[in-house]
């Protein structure tokens, strides 16, 4: 990709928008903010203090009353206290319904920024500027916004699509390898549920896939965004098909909570996908080769495959508040085959335990 090339991926639904992938995209921000806004709030994590301030200063030069709101890094930002801190900043700046929130950062930041936008005055416009692989391919696209509570992950939130998403690939150069690789879990998820070419590209050179300098970085990101865009375009509020994007997340979210959010989301989802593959296999749905492919591709990029065996009772308890649960019924996304996701409802507890045995350390 040359510096000037920009890929535009449409996301449909009642409030359509585009995901732009390229470099030097910040020139696009003004058009997305629109001409009705007087004030803009740039919500950014501590790690991107300079970027947040540069963006604020640039918007101020363009004539907006721009404020920067710094939130903690990573999952510590996804709390009611941080949301309340942001609401206070908006209130103090006189933020009205025509003003705009810009969320710049990883998925944790875009989740809380989107949630603040969804709740302030019952909903104001927002633009996502994702700066991690994970946020580009998943978190910033699709309008799921939210925060955690003491009881679990993402338990409070709203569906509130952004006005646009700017994925500037240059942002990935400063990302640590651990965070880069964590994002690959959602890329690999998109491969297993819908686009196996993603898996072929990673398997061809797993080491190259671990860095933004790899030859297929833009293609992997764009393919994953297209999977997400296609799914959410037809089912914004997760009435059905959108549930496939939760592949690996039932156990993944339970692990994140058990680890008090010290594990990255992608790492937990990696173990969760391995578990879901084994669950599908043991339930007689998934062939052995595809289940084994999970192990090889996740391991090849350095993602974890196992978790502490003694934690199963706690994980089972955590999984009960998963949003796919209905009453006492646990529901999992499994595969009937490669790119054939489906729902497995109320699996036999012995099969669940056996599947966990396959990922227990």
Determine which residue in the list 224, 246, 258, 318 makes contact with ligand LNCXM5UN, applying CB under 6 A: 246
For residues 295 and 305, the answer to whether their CB atoms sit within 8 Å is yes
Determine which residue in the list 162, 206, 266, 280 makes contact with ligand NAD, applying CB under 6 A: 266
Q: Which residues lie below 8 Å from residue 340, measured CB to CB, with a gap of 6+?
A: none
Q: Which does 249 bind (CB under 5 to 8 A by kind): ligand NAD, ligand LNCXM5UN, none?
A: ligand LNCXM5UN
Q: How far is the CB of 170 from ligand NAD (least distance, A)?
A: 9
Q: Return the structure tokens found at 248.
A: 């690996």
Closer Cβ to ligand LNCXM5UN, 161 or 164, answer by number: 161
Q: Looking at 55-63, 160-168, 238-246, 351-359, which segment touches ligand LNCXM5UN (CB under 6 A)?
A: 238-246
d(Cα 111, Cα 74) in Å, to the nearest integer?
Answer: 10
| Three-state secondary-structure class, residue 166 | strand
| Three-state secondary-structure class, residue 9 | strand
Write out the E strands in the chain: 7-11, 17-22, 39-45, 65-71, 100-105, 125-130, 144-149, 152-159, 164-168, 331-335, 341-345
d(Cα 115, Cα 124) in Å, to the nearest integer?
Answer: 10
Quick one: how far is CA 229 from the chain centroid?
A: 13
Looking at the annotation, which residues are catalytic?
A: 122, 144, 186, 228, 238, 242, 246, 249, 253, 265
| Three-state secondary-structure class, residue 251 | helix
| Three-state secondary-structure class, residue 306 | coil
Determine which residue in the list 134, 165, 221, 255 makes contact with ligand NAD, applying CB under 6 A: 134
Closer Cβ to ligand NAD, 125 or 264, answer by number: 264
Q: Looking at 87-95, 102-110, 189-197, 301-309, which segment touches ligand NAD (CB under 6 A)?
A: 102-110
Q: How far is the CB of 145 from ligand NAD (least distance, A)?
A: 6
182 binds ligand NAD (CB under 6 A): yes
171 binds ligand NAD (CB under 6 A): yes
174 binds ligand NAD (CB under 6 A): yes
Determine which residue in the list 25, 166, 187, 245 makes contact with ligand LNCXM5UN, applying CB under 6 A: 245
Closer Cβ to ligand LNCXM5UN, 75 or 186, answer by number: 186
Q: Which residue has the tokens 């997340």?
A: 249
Q: Is the dihedral of CA 255, 257, 258, 262 positive or negative?
A: positive
78 binds ligand LNCXM5UN (CB under 6 A): no
Q: Return the structure tokens found at 208.
A: 């190259």
Q: How many chain residues are in contact with ligand LNCXM5UN, going by CB under 6 A?
A: 12
Q: According to the annotation, is 119 in a ligand binding site? A: no
For residues 164 and 255, the answer to whether their CB atoms sit within 8 Å is no
Q: Which does 246 bind (CB under 5 to 8 A by kind): ligand LNCXM5UN, ligand NAD, none?
A: ligand LNCXM5UN
Q: Which residue has the tokens 């679990």?
A: 152
Q: According to the annotation, is 107 in a ligand binding site? A: yes
Q: Which of 1, 68, 55 is nearest to 28 (CA)?
A: 55
Point out which residues bind ligand NAD (CB under 6 A).
45, 47-48, 73-75, 78, 105-109, 111, 131-132, 134-135, 138-139, 142, 144, 154, 171, 174-175, 179, 182-183, 186, 264-266
């Amino acid at each position: 990709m040359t510096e000037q090339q920009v890929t535009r991926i449409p996301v449909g639904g009642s409030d359509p928008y585009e995901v732009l992938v390229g470099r030097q995209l910040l020139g696009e921000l003004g058009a997305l903010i629109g001409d009705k806004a007087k004030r803009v709030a740039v919500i950014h994590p501590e790690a991107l203090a300079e970027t947040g301030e540069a963006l604020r200063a640039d918007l101020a030069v363009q004539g907006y009353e721009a404020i920067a709101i710094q939130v903690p890094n990573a999952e510590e930002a996804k709390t009611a206290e941080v949301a309340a801190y942001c609401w206070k900043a908006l209130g103090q700046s006189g933020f009205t319904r025509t003003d705009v929130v810009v969320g710049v950062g990883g998925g944790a930041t875009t989740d809380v920024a989107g949630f603040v936008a969804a709740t302030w005055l019952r909903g104001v416009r927002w633009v996502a500027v994702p700066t991690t692989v994970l946020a580009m391919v998943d978190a910033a696209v699709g309008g799921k916004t939210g925060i955690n509570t003491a009881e679990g992950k993402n338990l409070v939130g709203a569906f509130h699509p952004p006005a646009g998403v700017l994925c500037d690939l240059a942002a990935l150069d400063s990302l640590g390898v651990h965070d880069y690789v964590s994002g690959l879990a959602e890329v690999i998820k998109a491969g297993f549920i819908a686009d196996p070419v993603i898996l072929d590209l990673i398997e061809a050179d797993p080491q190259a896939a671990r860095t933004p300098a790899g030859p297929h970085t833009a293609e992997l990101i764009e393919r994953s965004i297209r999977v997400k865009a296609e799914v959410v375009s037809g089912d914004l509020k997760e009435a059905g098909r959108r549930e496939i994007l939760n592949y690996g997340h039932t156990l993944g979210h339970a692990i994140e909570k058990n680890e008090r959010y010290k594990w990255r989301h992608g790492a937990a989802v990696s173990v969760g996908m391995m578990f879901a593959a084994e669950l599908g296999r043991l339930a007689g749905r998934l062939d052995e080769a595809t289940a084994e492919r999970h192990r090889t591709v996740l391991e090849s990029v350095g993602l974890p495959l196992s978790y502490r065996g003694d934690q199963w009772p706690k994980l089972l308890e955590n999984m009960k508040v998963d949003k796919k649960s209905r009453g006492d019924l646990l529901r999992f996304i499994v595969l009937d085959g490669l790119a054939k996701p489906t729902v497995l409802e109320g699996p036999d507890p012995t099969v669940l335990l056996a599947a966990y045995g396959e990922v227990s350390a």
